[in-house]
Chain A
Amino acid sequence: MSYYLGVDLGSTTAKSVIVDQAANVVASQVVQMGAVSRAGLAKSMAGALEAAGLAEGDIAGTVATGYGRRLVPGVGRTFTEITCHARGVAALVPGTRLVIDIGGQDSKAIRIDGDGIVENFAMNDRCASGTGRFFEVLARALECDIADLADLALTGDRDLEVSSMCATFAETEIISLLARGERREDIAASVHRAVAARTLGLVAQVRKSEPVVMTGGVAKNAAAVRFLEQTLDLPVTVPATPQITGAYGAALLARDTGRGGRVDDDPVTEQRAESPADCTSCSAYAPAPGARPLLPLHPR
């Protein structure tokens, strides 16, 4: 039996998922890190292997994704989170056309076609508005636990004007709302509403499509999902463990490529071998052959 490992090294968590040849999830592991760390990564990978009762040697292929994808040791190849989330969602919720992935430091809207292939995507730029980090700022300013934020927001009813959605200024803005005597619930609800409006902007860039699935750590925040549904005026499905969607997609891509064709006999690689020995023309280009993004990744 062959197993495939997907590793998603994000800005705040390391996620590992192991699938078998039939694409079933055998084990998964999420490790919280303060920042991107190799130790957190190793812990996550080891945890998944242990949970699956497997050794490293049982893994036939590994794909890494996320911001730290190049840090993953022994990885066969890497894919971006965009491709991995699309792949993961296509398997988890077949027929999905729009993925909204909100992680620790960025948010993305990904429109996919009927086969789970990325048609278009949009990402927030430098602005941390609406990301996991932004909700941490909100929780800190409201002096509540991040886990309690959703409950707080879901009991707010007044729509306050939150003028600044900049993570840098949001804290002072929230403090001044508190100073004005506004209820924490209303503030939490209003900020969630404003975040949903921002996300709608990302969705507008790729075109609204349905069904919609939300992934990433913020999808665990029920209020974020509820306000997004209201803003989109559409139901939003959340997978059981939304934060492992990328790692799951990566594991599936490891499985797809493992079954579909080895790197070694890929026609593209052969072409490359024929290219001239004088590589001065592409001195800027020297990725290891295995790190090159080559597919196929048809989900079936």
Chain B
Amino acid sequence: MSDQLASALAKLTAVADDPDAYVRDWTRRTAGKAIGAFPMNFPAEIAHAAGALPVIIQENREPDTSGRTLLAEFYCGYTRNLADQATKGRFDLYDGIFFADHCIQLLGAVDVLRFSAPGTPMYFGQLETSLADAWAPGAIRDKLGKFIEEIGTFMGTSITPTALGESIRLFNENRRMLRSLYEARKAGNARFTSAEMQVLVKSSMVMDKVEHNELLRQILAEVAQVPRDDRVRLHLSGHFCHAPKPELLAAIEECGALVVNDDLYTGGRFISTDVAEHGDPIEAIGEWYLARDANFPCPTRVKHATDWEDRLVDEVESSGAQGVIVLMVKFCEPHMFYYPELRKRMIERDIPHLLVETEHEGVPLESLRTRVEALLERIRTNELVAGGRK
């Protein structure tokens, strides 16, 4: 591995591992304001155009303690961990909190934050989730206008279309570079492990885009072409609002799998769509929000022009994946609702798959290994049994 690539990757890994340290460092050296945002569709370009550092708040690695009981045990690991972080004062490093997504479990966690830090400026600009209605684009535009207003007031500035246009271009460049690495993996380059791929995207959710883009350029300049080996090729699907644990990804690969593609939030889903660089930037962000869901359908949104199961099959086929591991965040209702639709399609298409539920505390490793290996044994059997049955 070249030094430059290794050093860039190490920097990104450090940020992905400890986002809080990066945010503290950034605010100290720039004297700027950091905005904490919750997933999945916060228009970070707006916060950036106002001069803030927009950070998508990640699950941390600490055991849940003081906030553990504030949300019931049947909330997803991410939201319970957010509640725990809130009670431990971990969000004090943010000057304000902004978010756009209506998830009932997330709102529970945010209320814990409101109760534990009542002075923190917070704003919830709820974006429409029923996307095909005639009035949806207008309503979305209004909400984005409110974000411009609220974030501008919070930052003590007025966000100009020019500034917003520049932020959009910067963010697009970031997505384009990340996409090129994802496309390369899909096309056969096995240079990065799935945990490393996650680092690339997760660090982008945290870092200043100028800095992130610079490191990505260094990586792209030196990335080598590494052909796939003989491991079973898998697609990872699910986890649409936070990162699966890197050790889970490593365990899957240790069982003898090569992850060749994904539709994870900290992966293909996050970087799928750019904002148009021409015309009214607010209009463009509204269109991006709709297009993002059309490109990578998310079960938290309702509309019927495109469906996730179609996209999943396309992604599996175009990457040469032989099977799918569905990573379901335990207690994630939209995923529980949609999973049977995915399963139905995968069965119809003879795509072997495994459902794995994840939690903040991790997944029992032996049980995971047994299930992953059984999936791989099944795929290998299908491959080798006479007649090439699939």
Residue numbers of A with Cβ under 8 A of B are 67, 78-83, 106, 115, 117-119, 121, 123, 125-126, 268-269, 271-272, 275-276, 278, 280-287, 292-298
Choose one: B190, B254, B380; the contact of A287 (CB below 8 Å).
Answer: B254
Contact status B254-A285, CB under 8 Å: yes
CA distance A297 to B384 in the complex (A): 8
- Name the segment of B101-109, B224-232, B309-317 touching the other chain: B224-232
The answer on a CB contact under 8 Å between B253 and A123 is no
Contacts of B231 in A (CB 8 A): 282, 285
> When the two chains form the complex, which single residue of A115, A271, A287 contacts B385, counting CB atoms closer than 8 Å?
A115
CB contacts between A and B, total, < 8 Å: 97
Interface size classification for chain B:
20 to 34
Given contacts A283-B193, A284-B195, A295-B380, whether A121 and B374 have CB atoms under 8 Å apart is yes
Q: How far is the CA of A283 from the CA of B227 in the complex (A)?
A: 14
| A106 to B370 alpha-carbon distance, docked (Å) | 12
With both beta carbons as reference points, the residue of chain A lying nearest to B247 in the complex is identified as A284
Chain A residues, Cβ within 8 Å of B377: 79-80, 82-83, 118, 293, 295
B294 to chain A, nearest CB (A): 31
28 contacts across the A-B interface (CB closer than 8 A) = A79-B373, A79-B377, A82-B371, A83-B374, A83-B377, A106-B367, A115-B385, A117-B381, A118-B378, A118-B381, A121-B371, A123-B367, A269-B230, A271-B229, A278-B226, A281-B191, A284-B193, A284-B253, A285-B258, A286-B254, A293-B377, A294-B380, A294-B384, A295-B377, A295-B381, A295-B384, A296-B384, A296-B385
Q: Mark B346-390, 1 if CB is under 8 A from A, else 0.
A: 000000000001000000101100110110111011101110000
**8 more CB-based (< 8 A) A-B contacts, given A125-B357, A282-B193, A284-B254:** A80-B377, A125-B367, A272-B230, A278-B226, A284-B193, A292-B256, A293-B380, A298-B386
Within the complex, the shortest CB–CB distance from B181 to chain A, in Å, comes to 13
Supposing A281-B193, A284-B195 touch, asked if A126 and B364 sit within 8 A by C-beta, the answer is yes
Give Cα A98–Cα B78 distance, bound, in whole angstroms: 37
What is the distance, in angstroms, from B89's C-beta to the closest C-beta of chain A?
31
B98 smallest CB distance to A (angstroms): 36
**Please, which residues of chain B bring their CB within 8 A of the CB of A285?**
231, 253-254, 256, 258
B190 touches A281 (CB 8 A): yes
Q: Does B192 contact A (CB under 8 A)?
A: yes
B302 at the interface (CB under 8 A from A): no
Contacts of B386 in A (CB 8 A): 298
What is the bound-complex CA distance between A269 and B380, given in angstroms?
A: 13
Question: Which A residues touch B376, using CB under 8 A?
Answer: 293
Residue of B nearest to A113 (CB): B389
- How far apart sit A125 and B374, CA to CA, in the bound complex (Å)? 15
Q: Mark B80-92, 1 if CB is under 8 A from A, else 0.
A: 0000000000000
A78 partner residues in chain B, CB cutoff 8 A: 373
Residues of B within 8 A of A (CB): 1, 190-193, 195, 224, 226-227, 229-231, 250, 253-254, 256, 258, 357, 364, 366-367, 370-371, 373-374, 376-378, 380-382, 384-386
Point out the residues of chain B lying under 8 angstroms from A275, CB to CB.
Answer: 227, 229-230
**Contact partner of B371 among A123, A271, A286, A292, CB < 8 A?**
A123
* Smallest Cβ-Cβ distance to B379: which chain A residue: A293
* In contact, A80 and B190 (Cβ under 8 angstroms): no
Which residues on A sit within 8 Å (CB–CB) of B190? 281-282
Residue of A nearest to B372 (CB): A80
Given A284-B254, A297-B381: A271 and B230 interface contact (C-beta under 8 Å):
yes
A281–B184 Cα gap in the complex (Å)? 14
Would A280 and B381 be within 8 Å (CB), given that A67-B366, A81-B370, A285-B231 are in contact?
Answer: no
* Chain B residues in 8 Å Cβ range of A280: 1
Q: Are A276 and B226 in contact, CB atoms less than 8 angstroms apart?
A: yes
Which of B195, B226, B382 is A281 in contact with, Cβ under 8 Å? B226
Q: How far is the CB of B148 from chain A (nearest CB, A)?
A: 44
Q: Which residues on the A side are within 8 Å of B226 (C-beta)?
A: 276, 278, 281
Once the chains are docked, how many angstroms separate the CA of A298 from the CA of B387? 12
Q: How far is the CA of A38 from the CA of B390 in the complex (A)?
A: 39
Q: Which of B193, B230, B376, B380 has the most CB of A within 10 A?
A: B230
Shortest 9 CB-CB distances between A and B: which pairs? A82-B374, A275-B229, A281-B226, A80-B374, A296-B384, A284-B250, A271-B230, A284-B253, A83-B377
Let me know if B254 and A117 touch, CB within 8 A: no
In the complex, what residues of A have CB within 8 A of residue B192's CB? 281
User: Inside 8 A of B378's CB, which chain A residues have their CB?
Assistant: 83, 117-119
**Residue of chain B at shortest CB distance from A296:** B384
By beta carbon, the residue of chain A nearest B195 is A284
* CA–CA, A117 and B382, complex, Å: 9
Q: Which of B254, B258, B357, B373 contacts A80 (CB 8 A)?
A: B373
Distance in Å from the Cβ of B290 to the closest Cβ of chain A? Answer: 35
In the complex, the answer to whether B385 meets A298 with C-beta atoms within 8 Å is yes
The docked-state distance in angstroms from the alpha carbon of A268 to that of B383 is 11
How far is A115 from B357 in the complex, measured between Cα atoms in Å?
A: 30
Whether A268 contacts B253 in the complex (CB less than 8 A), given A80-B370, A118-B377, A284-B195, comes out as: no
Q: Which residues of A sit under 8 angstroms from B371, Cβ to Cβ? A: 80, 82, 121, 123
Q: What's the nearest-Cβ distance from chain B to residue A287, in Å?
A: 6
Q: How far is the CA of A294 from the CA of B192 in the complex (A)?
A: 24
Q: Give the distance in Å from the alpha carbon of A280 to the alpha carbon of B190 in the complex.
A: 10
CB pair B385 A117 closer than 8 Å? yes
CB of B375, distance to nearest CB on chain A (Å):
9
* Bound-complex Cα distance A295 to B229 (A): 17
Chain B residue at minimum C-beta to C-beta distance from A205:
B355
**Minimum CB–CB distance for B282 against chain A, Å:** 42
Q: Which residues of B contact A268 (CB under 8 A)?
A: 230
| Least CB separation from B190: chain A residue | A281
Closest chain-B Cβ to A129's Cβ sits at a distance in Å of 15
B159, chain A: closest CB distance, angstroms: 43
Residues in B neighbouring A83, C-beta threshold 8 A:
374, 377-378, 381
A67 to B370 Cα, complex, angstroms: 8
Scoring A79, A80, A117, A125 by chain B CB atoms within 10 A of each residue's CB, the highest score goes to A80
